[in-house]
Chain A
Amino acid sequence: MLTPVLSDNWDQINAWQLSSYQRTGGYDALRTALRMQPADVVTAVKDSGLRGRGGAGFPTGMKWSFIPQDNPKPKYLVVNADESEPGTCKDIPLMMASPHTLVEGVIISSYAIRASVAFIYVRGEVLHVIRRLQQAVQEAKDAGFIGTNILGTGYDLDVVVHAGAGAYICGEETALLDSLEGRRGQPRLRPPFPAVAGLYGCPTVINNVESIASVPAIIKNGADWFSSMGTEKSKGMTLYSLSGHVTRPGQYEAPMGITLRQLIDLAGGVRDGHELKFWTPGGSSTPLLTAEHLDVPLDYEGVGSVGSMLGTKALQIFDETTCVVRAVLRWTEFYKHESCGKCTPCREGTWWLVQILERLEHGKGTEEDLVTLLDLCENITGRSFCALADGATAPISSSIQHFKDEYLAHFAEGGCPFDPMASTVFATAGANA
């Protein structure tokens, strides 16, 4: 039922240190990869069926094959460790517990695309994770896994750990590149795609932490091993993150295609005496689902078929004590704060959305406001420069679709019918603010 691979060494003593990582077979995959031709490493990752774990599910090996190897410019690998999508909490614990899994993946992936420098762009608000990454890269340098003539192969690679400074939009890959070049993090026009003209205008691969961290296991155990797990089009194991109103929230590494019913069961059920009301399959930018969707396979196709997206597999669970309007308002405030301001529908639209939702939450809205909200969402989605704006509208339209009555109840009662205390973790402990 569970298939720990990425998380398999997280209970080892000092798992973050090189010596511990090597005790469990760490860096064996690097030795194997360095004996292969770079193109064969790309093929192995292609054959495994690994799809990007940062949200969009683009096939990783295919992305690597877009790097024009006849281009004389240097090539770069950039790891997206910005993890800021609300609800998403898998890359941070991975890098905290076993930064070498990522570092080994970085070296193998860089070798595959013949990158000379790799960057790990990690959000700035995670001090201890940054310490562990810095130390892991240093240990790998001291061991000769990073540097010149790696393990006598003639391959040279430098790896830089780079801390961001607080901006959700920098997780969008082209905004990330601008940020990494020392600019405001605003998305770039595509084409050209980063594979052709990315960092400093050079061919660049950008991948999520979990995508890159999955590479050593694929090289070590083979593409067939990886694709023996999962479903037809969504292969391998992955980290599902359960948070909110479940008994044991946390990281659950399972084959692609497990269902929320199974995961909640593993997590000890929805918290005692309550029932599931709504959930996100992959962060706040993926349309909300309800108890009706408990048996949907959590793979790219399954979640897509019910009108949402697998996203980052950030399963935020809310029980019947939660006001959906309050939840959606708060997410909308987040998007408003994080809109980079580059394009009008998103910059202005997110302000309007917040204004209307505030009215609704305080019981001062009308049914017409709901129509305006949906209309606004339609005008923002697909008409903005990047996917942040599409994400901003997802919770709004999906919540109106599933919980229109609850919005209406707010005007009927002239205010929010929910007690915010009831949904807290300390509700039963009798604590109050």
Chain B
Amino acid sequence: MSTVNDHATSHPVPYSTGDSKITETTIAEMRELAARYPVGRSALLPMLHLVQSVEGRVTPEGIEACADVLGLTGAEVSAVATFYTMYKRRPVGEYHVGVCTNTLCAVMGGDLIFERLKRHLDVGNDETTEDGKITLEHIECNAACDYAPVMTVNWEFFDDMTPESATQLVDDLREGTEVKSPRGATICSWREAERVLAGFPDGRADEGPTGGKASLAGLRLARERNWTAPNGNGGAPAPLDPVPGPRPEDQPGRESQAVHTDDSRKED
């Protein structure tokens, strides 16, 4: 966050470039977000995500639009925008590539992956490749440590990475090859991702598995060894159903084969 901003500041921050893409539609969507909360200002973080999806960064025009909709000053909105790491004042590439370099991932190889990618892409931290495709950033623990070393593309997980799989990943992105997250969807653009974060779903929730191998490690072992929690009274059917929801009759299926990530190194 910016109170202690140690990011590279070698490039000047572009202020208004006079080509804002904020339209009446954007403003209407901002109002829609504000209406979802008991107090409109609660929508400010989602609205800033929306600004990024439209503008490719947080622009002065975007800040003014948020301020207008919420009845705040531009300075008040700026103060919020600069506090949070995900809001970018410099243009972000088509893909935001994160490498976790918090301790666990760093030790498991994240530091070496990050070094390799900086050289491979010829960029520093928080910088964008010349073709505008990739912004590289080292990120903090992304709650996926059991898949270390972890990377993200537009905040989708890439698990159990190596320097080789990392360079392959960014090459694929730059060449426009379709890329899928092993625990998520087909990679969209960073701006499209920001729109989802703003609160406008893109209908891709059903892509990808329930989880990767590590998420299921304990459950698999429990199944193998027939370990279960004690029986509760959970087996008894609920007495009456005032308004029954949809309830398919078919029996549970297993998806063991469907779930896999290609991390052979952790093979049992």
Q: Chain A interface (Cβ within 8 Å of chain B)?
A: 1-5, 7-8, 10-20, 22-25, 27-28, 31-32, 35, 74, 83-89, 91-93, 96-98, 117, 123-128, 130-132, 134-135, 138, 143-145, 151-153, 160-169, 179-185, 200, 217, 220-222, 225, 228-229, 237, 240-244, 247-254, 266-268, 284, 314, 316, 318, 322, 326-327, 330-331, 334, 336-341, 347, 351, 420-421, 423-426, 429, 431-433
Contact = CB atoms under 8 A, between A and B. Distances in A.
Nearest to B114: A433
A4 B219 contact: yes
12 contacts: A7-B219, A12-B253, A14-B255, A88-B145, A127-B154, A134-B199, A135-B201, A161-B199, A182-B43, A229-B230, A421-B112, A433-B113
9 nearest interchain CB pairs? A221-B232, A250-B217, A182-B44, A166-B85, A341-B3, A252-B218, A250-B214, A165-B84, A128-B184
B219 A11 contact: yes
A284 B103 contact: yes
Given A31-B241, A180-B42, A222-B232, A23 B206 contact: no
Interface in B1-26: 1, 3-4, 6
B176 interface: no
B59 to A, nearest CB: 16
B94 to A, nearest CB: 15
B131 to A, nearest CB: 23
Q: Which of A25, A96, A254 has the most CB of B within 10 A?
A: A96
A85 B142 CA distance: 9
B228 A12 contact: no
B238 A165 contact: no
Given A127-B197, A128-B208, A241-B146, A249 B214 contact: yes
The secondary structure that dominates the B interface is loop
B216 interface: yes
B155 A165 contact: no
A89 B144 contact: yes
Contact of B217 (A130, A248, A340, A431): A248
A14 B206 contact: yes
Contacts of B217: 248-252, 267
Given A182-B44, A337-B6, A15 B143 contact: no
A339 B214 contact: no
B210 A243 contact: no
A32 B41 CA distance: 36
A330 B106 contact: yes
B142 A125 contact: yes
A153 B241 CA distance: 12
A433 B144 CA distance: 22
A97 B215 contact: yes
Contacts of A247: 266, 268
Interface in B168-208: 181, 183-185, 193, 196-199, 201-202, 204-208
A244 B104 contact: yes
B238 A86 contact: no
B146 A117 contact: no
Contact of A244 (B49, B148, B156, B253): B148
Q: Which of B109, B113, B145, B243 has the most CB of A within 10 A?
A: B145
Given A127-B193, A229-B229, A241-B145, A164 B84 contact: yes
Contact of B103 (A3, A181, A252, A327): A327
Contacts of A251: 146, 214-219
Given A32-B238, A331-B103, A166 B86 contact: yes
A318 B107 contact: yes
Interface in B239-253: 239-243, 245-248, 250-253
B243 to A, nearest CB: 5
Contact of A163 (B108, B197, B216, B229): B197
Contacts of B233: 220-222, 225
B4 A84 contact: no
A118 to B, nearest CB: 12
A257 to B, nearest CB: 15
B140 interface: yes
A35 B211 CA distance: 34
B254 A12 contact: yes
Contacts of A180: 42
A47 B43 CA distance: 37
Contact of B156 (A128, A132, A144): A128
Interface in B96-155: 98, 101-104, 106-109, 111-113, 115-116, 139-149, 152, 154-155
Contacts of B206: 14, 16-17, 135
B207 to A, nearest CB: 8
A424 B42 CA distance: 42
Given A5-B229, A128-B156, 19 more contacts: A1-B227, A2-B222, A3-B228, A11-B254, A13-B258, A23-B247, A96-B211, A125-B98, A151-B243, A152-B242, A162-B42, A163-B45, A166-B85, A253-B218, A326-B106, A337-B6, A340-B3, A433-B113, A433-B116
Contacts of A243: 104, 145-146, 148
A36 to B, nearest CB: 12
B8 to A, nearest CB: 14
A13 B210 CA distance: 8
B57 interface: no
Contacts of A326: 106-107
